[in-house]
Amino acid sequence: MARKSDTGPVVFSALEVANICGVVNQTAINWIKNNYLKAFKTPGGQFRVYPEDLLLFMKSRKMRIPESLLKLCRVDVKTLLIVDDDKAFNDVSAKFIASHLEKVDVLQAFDGFEAGSLMQKCKPGLLMLDLDLPGIDGVSLLKRIRESPDFGSPKVIIVTAMEDPEMEKKCRSYGVSYIFKKPVALPEICGVIKGF
């Protein structure tokens, strides 16, 4: 797999890059030659790529990043799951957060059932949750998350258009510190996520 270069750091060959990304060797070479993927040449004329540069490239292409590469880069990546049935708001939020917080991987769910499934599978550390959801409402989902170890123990930000003091009280009883009312300022949410 990755090897140390003459100067010490771990580097990947074009073939290793291709294998990690699930493409043929020539595709990886084309990425490098077209300046999509940052690389350097060895004295023998071979391309070499630093793990951090490969990570940035894969994130920009929305590729699935293997855990081994994250560990190699020593990047503390947070995973955020946005749960909102308003597709436009969900998409805008995901794009905004992903573009402003490069150490956050963003997942999306559009109802409570999909959210529960993703929570079990991916165990995100952060959850941006709407309360008014089809299927399972946000408070019921929050209750399940807090009562079952299957979901991990994510930090939760509520983003809702609902005006319901009782629901807010319930959310706070489940350990929610941040409740934002729509329309919400996404830079403010980014600030909260950075603080976690």
- pLDDT value for 127: 92
Task: Reduce the DSSP state of residue 150 to 3 states and report it.
Answer: helix
Residue predicted with more confidence, 74 or 18: 18
Q: Which amino acid is at 142?
A: L
Segment 186-194 shows an average pLDDT of 91
Report which DSSP code applies to 22: T
Residue 3, pLDDT > 50, answer no
- pLDDT value for 150: 75
- pLDDT value for 74: 59
- Name 86's Cβ contacts closer than 8 Å, sequence gap at least 6: 130
Token pair, residue 3, equals: 């090897």
- CA–CA distance, 121 with 139 (Å, rounded to integer): 20
Residue by residue, what is the 3-state secondary structure of 113-141? Answer: HHHHHHHHHHCCCEEEECCCCCCCCHHHH
User: Which tens digit of pLDDT belongs to each residue from 25-68?
Assistant: 999 999 999 999 999 999 999 999 988 889 888 888 888 888 78
134 preceded by cis ω (within 30°)?
A: no
Q: Report the DSSP beta bridge partners of residue 79.
A: 105
Residue 85, pLDDT > 60, answer yes
User: Which tens digit of pLDDT belongs to each residue from 137-148?
Assistant: 888 888 888 887
